[in-house]
Structure 1
Amino acid sequence: MRDLSRVLRPRSLAVIGGGAWCAEVIRQARKLGFEGAIWPVHPKAAEVAGEQAYAALGELPDAPDVAFVGINRRATIEAVAELAEMGAGGAVCFASGFTEALAEDAGAADLQAQLIAAAGGMPILGPNCYGFVNALDRVAVWPDQHGMRPVERGVAILTQSSNIAINMTMQRRALPLAVMMTCGNQAQTHQAEIAMALLDDPRITAIGVHIEGFGDLRKWESLAAKARERDVPIVALKAGRSAQARAATVSHTASLAGDDAGAQAFLDRLGIARLEDVPGFLETLKLLHVTGRLESNRIASISCSGGEASLIADMAVGRDLEFPPLTQAQRNALSAALGPMVALANPLDYHTYIWRDAPAMARAWAGMTGPEIGMTLSIVDYPHTDAADWSCATRAAQSVVEQTGRPFAVAASLPELMPEDVAQELIAGGAVPFAGLNEALAAAEAAARPVPAPSAPVLLPGQDEADVILTEAEAKAALAEYGLTVPRSCEVRACQAVEAASHLTAPFAVKGIGLAHKSEYGAVQLGIGADGVCEAARGVGTAMVLIEEMTTGTVAELLVGITRDPAHGFVLTLGAGGVMTEILCDTVSLLVPSDRTAIRAAFERLACAPLLAGYRGKPGADMDALLDAVEAVQAYVVANAASVSEVEINPLICTADGAVAVDALIRKASS
């Protein structure tokens, strides 16, 4: 961990360069209230933006705590080397043209290596970095306008996108932004390292990370561990959901996993909730700032419109949220507050009988809260014509929080109908002001995610090209050495099938050898008796055939596959198997290694889970044998991490007393 304390809370700021960007850094620093020394460095100017300029770094009164380096990329390397030599606290490297420009400039990587070497042990942010705003300590090292203002406590946001950072500082949602940090291309100081430094500040209530790529997985694991220890929630806005599945795949697993499954599995493993858009991201951070994590995903809603009650109920479908039936205690409280004219339910339409009577509204709204409810929402859209006319809602919400101490929110169905001043007043009273119902539900879902127990570090993959595909028999033999159960079989020339089958017990599966997806070529013959082996062997169309004993008593056919993901480790995909695998798309992804508890929970999330439990009086699968099979596949991958690229069992036949891999594929490097 590099020491970022001088960078984040500087007493002196050097601004190197003479362009408009550098002058703006000085203006923004003073505008936010920075009281430390500002030292422009310019070879010709006497002053920059009202501050005395120095012709060279060597003329500065002292080594700056942080420097904004706003000059071209080659000059940036020279300046960073001089700053490191003189003992500066760190630098923001504004220039672009390093590894982010590699596609256009083959020499960009070498320049980035030179920059890292020049910095030595001195922290640098970027390059291609806008800098940061620290509203807690009134520090802005930022070359543009922004919408932040001083705060006493609040959330921190880290992003690789300067433009998105600017946009988020302009939010009008009353979210108290404590720190906005851009990370650039993270040549030296990683996004997760910066977040770990921010966790040391008790004024930071939650952290949001906009991630384009993880980079060093170990740093993210360290961040998650520290956040768990400090009890500071982290949420993510992660790019990459729309990426196409890998083009060069052999197994069903790889095409099902795609590029994003590993990212999602990694976030799940770290306990970092993922949001789909900027509004939901900001509203989640707001909720976490006001209430912290929610105790459960059981929510309640109250509004004076049946339309709003129906709307929020429908919008929650597909989310991991529940509207539980009202308890007797809730019914008693609501009946006392509303009388007999209101049909009690959750979500609740309480009509307009008590509107404008703030104490009566508070009694009704409080009646929807309770120890079994993670958060209660009251739907209120403040009129832009005169929001003060509905101050009764604000007073009622504040009273509910004071009376119950339970998480409570006021949610506007239209984002623009939650005025910023009203939102600030609600936050001051301990209520969450949501700008938008969909955003409110996304935030509740994210804030209610349970914090996972610490897990083992993810298995890092090798880099060698996977240029060998084992035959089915070879793959099964390799996996059997790690405990996977496979059928008795033999691999022979088609003309020798009858003799080979005499040593096995019918019925048989007869399969062609050398084809990745045999069923697509008609190269699988099932249920073959001893007298049909010769004809079946000729029919599959390959010189060599695999004859194996069929497994009977099938409860379910599953897929168990692992693919190498260079960015996230090894993705373990579990799902419905057989020839319909890619049509059903009933899968869950984890990362290797995953323990038995996590694997069992993953199987329980599948749509086919009822088959495994025993459906309509039929026997269930042997779950211990199923978990043993997955652990065997994982064990093989762990032992061969440097070379293996894909492993797939499809199908894994699950019976009431076992789990048998009846097809297997392994792709690996030959070395």
Structure 2
Amino acid sequence: MPITSPPAGTRRTGLAAFRDPASVAVVGASANPSKWGYWLARGALAGRDRRTVHLVTRGGGEILGAPTAASLGDLPEVPELVALCVPAAQLDAVVDEALELGVRGLLGITAAVHDERRLAARVAAAGARMIGPSSLGLFDAATSLHIAWGDFTAGGLAVVSQSGQVGSEIALLSQRSGLGISRFVSVGSQLDVTMADLLEDLVDHELTRAVGVYLESFHEGGRVFDALRALRAAGKPVVLLAAGDSEAGARAARSHTSALTSPMELVDAACRAAGALRVPTPAALVDVAAQLLTTTLPTGPRVAVVSDSGGQGALAADRATRHGLTVPELGGPLASELARRLPDGAATANPVDLAGGGERDLTSYRDVVAALLGSGDVDSVVLTGYFGTYGLDSPPLAAAEAQVARELGELTRRHGRPLLVHSMGAHSDTASVLRAAGVPVFATIDSATTALAGAHALHQHPGRPPHGTPAERRTRPRGFWDTRALLRDAGIAFPAAYRVHDAGELEAAAGRLHPPYVLKASWLEHKSEAGGVVTGLQDTAGALRAFTGMHTRLGDGPYVLEEQDVRADVVEVIVGARRDARLGPMVMVGAGGTEAELHRDVVTECAPVDAERAHAMIRRLRCAPLLAGWRGRPATDIGALADVVAAVSRLIAQLDGSQVELEINPLRVAPDGALAVDALLLDAAPGATTDRPDNDTPADTPADSPADSPDTHSAASSSTAPDLKGNS
């Protein structure tokens, strides 16, 4: 039959063809249930009450009772969406035919395409869009669009996956957990339509209430995380599963900042800024999604554990604590009220053990949970053990157990606090009643506490506006001295210092500075490891001897003589920042000094941050008690440290270059302020450097010679007790 094109102006643009196409064609349809073409045809035909479905196969005949055509050119109309399930050798010809006919939506199931770049160019030139190739298909519950292997149950979770198999696992686990799928898209090779495109397209997808994402790479990382931020703002929180948490990148790192931050730490920082949550496994993704789709987010970390078994209660408390939640001891009026409702000997301190109260009267579960949710002493309740199994083992109790389940759901709505249930009968009828009533049910206590901890993390990080384009862009300095000047201009204090090139300049500088001195080979990235720093030089003669020895070993270059920071009660910290090519600017603070990589105690966030967020970063460090004053030592000036973190975060957002790293290590924080004693700025790309002797141009020298004024922006330049670990 002749082809009839749609009337002018009626073809949809963008991604509309992948949401609700008016017509679909499956090329490579098959009657064999073991073939992809069968499942695509079967799914597409299920939507015939909403759209026209065409099946194309060379074999002819009928498939699943529907007629077939031998080619796209034999169809009576130009289909809006064409699913391509043909051998790779035939793909180019079929795509060319589709584009010549005017098809605007292509779903590429075919894998092992020979020249994807050429295929992408042809699709773009025709003004069409393509998901895939190597896609496992797509499903949209809102529009009965099903072009994928397997079956889907409608629900509120959208799944967008870079791996079709991982996406299928997430969808299967979610359905086994009583959840359903609103939309499923396997992005495949992202030849044209990208992950960012598909996430942006979910923002106004009505059925979607939460999103599960699997990523293996962060192509268009900025757009991806902007989309996650937009989804959170639309009330659709995202749970992200990502591959690549590896130390391989750190092995080649040239700065402490790179060595101390794994790829996933950067992703976690981007997630927090976007209001999303990263999880380690598909099961964890589904666990968190179960809470997001069923009940509310907890407003705090305090959880009450209720059990009908002391052992299960103890295990639940352990798992909650391990996941970063708190299990506070209950006392006072609340403990007394619980004791009145329970048999003698019941534990009421938290965990709460019903001590057989549930077997005597199932309403004990309701009464205890009601007291806890209404008390204000906890933010959530986890019920663990046998509830949900009474009706299975004793059918006469089924109706009563179901009624209590409905009442438990009403309690969560009334008090606005979540209740989660770990049940030995997680797939019972009572469990279904609980889920319908707004109470998520889990088969293991670890799943329940994983879900609760994830939900709490999402509440803590609702997302913040993107860093945007800074009003001021700064050119990168060319070496240590210029980097030092850049940081000083940003308000970061350094010891008084001069740059010197020979013994005469060094002697003149020593006469203008206060001993003890530090001598540095400023062009070295890691001075201590290369023997490029000497501390504790008590006089000019000692400084000259140190310079002669260092110059003999290292040769000509810009050396620096500075006053040594010898203040008491100092804690050494590292403050670093990097502009990641995929995820944008990041800032890091952690335990510093020459042992920074040994301690590996760092916190990373997207830059820039303000002083308040910098304070929050510092509180998360394991070494935070040292900064706050440990075992009678005075507290350091944490406010000054937070100001440095904020200043460095602003600088990294302003510096030119797609891959730049900036680092202060150590930053010496004392009760009277913070003093930076070494700084490094370099290109993150392997092999690049900005800090070598040949970058020390003669034009820079006069301004820093001992004949001129010293560089004296210091927090404390005089002290009495020597500290040979300073200024390293």
TM over 0.5: yes
How far off is 1:271 after superposition?
1.0
CA distance in 1, matches of 2:70, 2:614: 63
Q: 1:101 — aligned with what?
A: none
Superposition pairs for residues 505-654 of structure 1, below 5 Å? 505-530=514-539, 531-540=541-550, 541-543=553-555, 544=557, 545-553=559-567, 554-642=569-657, 645-654=660-669
CA deviations on 1:624-655 (whole Å, 9 max, x unpaired) are 43334334434443343226622211001123
> d(CA) in 1 for partners of 2:372 and 2:334?
6
Asked whether the equivalents of residues 123 and 129 of structure 2 are also in contact (C-alpha less than 8 Å), the reply is no
Name 1:301's counterpart in structure 2.
305
Equivalent position amino acid for 2:136 in 1: Y
Residues 103-129 of structure 1, C-alpha deviations (whole Å, 9 max, x = no match): xx6x443333334434x2x43221211
Match of 1:379, SS state, is strand
Structure 1 portions without partners, runs of 5+: 99-104, 461-467
Alpha-carbon offset, residue 603 of structure 1:
1.3
Q: Which residue of 1 aligns with 2:500?
A: 492
Partner in structure 2 of residue 351 of structure 1: 355
Q: Is the 8 A contact 1:637 1:644 kept in 2?
A: no
Displacement after TM superposition at 1:367 (Å)? 2.5
Does structure 2 conserve the Cα–Cα contact (< 8 Å) formed by 1:174 and 1:420? Answer: no
Report if aligned partners of 2:581, 2:659 keep a CA contact under 8 Å in 1.
no
Report the equivalent of 1:133.
139
Paired residue secondary structure (2:38): helix
The structure 1 residue matched to 2:488, chosen from 475, 480, 483, is: 480
Q: Is the 8 A contact 2:106 2:129 kept in 1?
A: yes
Shift of residue 352 of structure 1?
A: 1.4
Q: Is residue 374 from structure 1 mapped to residue 374 from structure 2 by the alignment? A: no
Residue 346 of structure 2: aligned partner: 342
| Counterpart position of 2:20 | 9
2:38 corresponds, among 20, 23, 35, to 23
SS in 1 for 2:248: coil
Counterpart-to-counterpart distance in 2, 1:235 and 1:329 = 39
State the SS of the aligned residue for 1:127: coil
> How does 1:74-85 map onto structure 2 within 5 Å?
75-80=90-95, 82-83=97-98
CA distance in 2, matches of 1:400, 1:187: 49
Q: 1:215 to 1:404 in 2, by over 3 A?
A: closer
**SS of 2:357's equivalent?**
coil
Alpha-carbon offset, residue 34 of structure 1:
6.2
Tell me by how many angstroms 1:252 deviates: 1.1
Relative to structure 1, the CA distance from residue 259 to residue 218 in structure 2 (aligned partners, 3 Å threshold; closer, same or farther) is closer
Give the superposition deviation at 1:81. Answer: 5.4
Match among 330, 335, 354 for residue 326 of structure 1: 330
Counterpart AA for 2:135: C
Query: Hey, what's the Cα distance between the residues in 2 that align with 1:385 and 1:367?
Result: 25
Q: What TM-score comes out, normalization by structure 1 length? A: 0.88
Tell me the residue number matched to 1:464.
none
1:410 aligns with 2:424: no
Distance in structure 2 (CA, Å) of the matches to 1:8 and 1:393: 42
Which deviations, in whole Å up to 9, do the C-alpha atoms of 1:194-252 show, x marking residues without a partner? 23323323322211111222322342244234323322221111222235233432211
Alignment match, 2:7: none
1:174 Cα deviation from its structure 2 partner: 1.2
Q: Are 1:244 and 1:259, in contact at CA under 8 Å, matched by a contact in 2?
A: no
- The CA distance in 2 between the partners of 1:560 and 1:402, in whole Å, is 49
Task: Give the direction of change, closer, same or farther, for the CA distance of 1:459–1:356 in structure 2 (3 Å limit).
Answer: farther
Q: Would you say the 8 A contact 1:294–1:448 is kept in 2? A: yes
- Does the 8 Å contact 1:132/1:182 carry over to 2? yes
Q: Provide closer, same or farther for how the CA distance between residues 472 and 219 of structure 1 changes in structure 2, counting only shifts above 3 A.
A: closer
Return the alpha-carbon distance in structure 2 between the equivalents of residues 195 and 649 of structure 1. 37
Greater Rg by CA: 2
CA distance, structure 1, for counterparts of residue 508 and residue 119 of structure 2: 67
CA pair 47-179 structure 1, distance change in 2 beyond 3 A: same
How many residues are matched?
A: 649
CA distance in 2, matches of 1:641, 1:412: 55
Deviates more, 1:33-42 or 1:232-241: 33-42
Let me know the Cα RMSD of the aligned residues: 3.1
Provide the secondary structure at the position in 1 that maps to 2:625.
helix
Aligned equivalents of 2:296 and 2:306: distance in 1? 22
- Find the counterpart in structure 2 of residue 452 from structure 1: 462
Post-superposition offset of 1:339: 4.3
**Contact 2:431 / 2:441 at 8 angstroms: preserved in 1?**
yes
Report the equivalent of 2:718: none
Determine whether 1:439 maps to 2:451.
no
Q: Contact (CA 8 Å) 2:640, 2:673: kept in 1 or not?
A: yes
1:527 counterpart letter in structure 2: G
- Judge which range, 27-36 or 653-662, deviates more: 27-36
d(CA) in 2 for partners of 1:383 and 1:398? 15
Q: 2 CA distance for matches of 1:330 and 1:4?
A: 55
Following TM superposition, by how much is the alpha carbon of 1:48 offset from its aligned partner in structure 2, in angstroms? Answer: 3.3
Check the 8 A contact 1:291/1:407 in 2, yes or no: yes
User: In the aligned structure 2, how far is the partner of 1:635 from the partner of 1:404?
Assistant: 43
Q: 1:360 aligns with which of 352, 364, 367?
A: 364
Per the alignment, do residues 649 and 440 of structure 1 end up closer, same or farther by CA in structure 2, a change over 3 Å counting? same
Per the TM alignment, residue 523 of structure 1 is displaced from its structure 2 partner at its CA by 3.4
Distance 1:232 1:551, change over 3 A: same
How far is the alpha carbon of 1:338 from its aligned partner?
0.7
Does the aligned pair in 1 maintain the 2:116–2:191 contact within 8 Å? no
The equivalent of 2:61 in structure 1 is 46
Aligned-partner Cα distance in 2 for 1:635–1:203? 39
Answer yes or no: is the 8 Å Cα contact 1:487–1:551 preserved in 2: yes
* Of 112, 121, 139, the match for 1:97: 112
1:156 aligns with 2:146: no
In structure 2, the CA distance between the partners of 1:64 and 1:33, relative to structure 1 (3 Å rule), is: closer
Does the residue aligned with 1:240 lie in a helix, a strand or coil? coil
User: Letter of the aligned partner of 2:503 in structure 1?
Assistant: C
How far, CA to CA, are the matches of 1:632 and 1:359 in structure 2? 57
CA 437–113 in structure 1, closer or farther in 2 if over 3 Å, else same:
farther
Q: Structure 1's 388 and 211: CA in aligned 2 closer, same or farther, altered over 3 A?
A: farther
What does the per-residue CA deviation read over 1:160-182, in whole Å, with 9 as the maximum and x for residues that have no partner? 11112233333322122232221
**Are 1:227 and 2:219 counterparts?**
no
User: Does the alignment pair 1:667 with 2:678?
Assistant: no
Report the Cα offset of residue 534 of structure 1: 2.3
Contact 1:133–1:141 (CA under 8 A) maintained in structure 2: yes
SS in 1 for 2:117: helix
TM-fit CA distance, 1:658: 2.8
CA distance in 2 between partners of 1:591 and 1:344 (Å)? 43
Maintained 8 Å contact 2:574/2:667: yes
- The sequence identity of aligned pairs, in percent, is 28
Q: 1:425 aligns with which of 417, 426, 433?
A: 433
**Which letter maps to 1:154?**
G
Match of 1:102 in 2: none
Alignment-derived partner of residue 168 in structure 1: 170
Aligned to 1:501: 510
SS in 2 for 1:630: helix
Question: How far did 1:501 drift?
Answer: 1.1
- What is the one-letter code of the residue matched to 2:676? A
The verdict on how the C-alpha distance between 1:261 and 1:360 changes in structure 2, with shifts beyond 3 A counting, is closer
Compare 28-37 and 189-198 and name the one that shifted more. 28-37
Aligned to 1:465: none
Alignment CA distance shift 1:399-1:635 (3 Å) = closer
Cα distance in 2 between the residues matched to 1:21 and 1:242: 35
Is the contact made by 1:116 and 1:187 (CA closer than 8 Å) also made in structure 2?
no
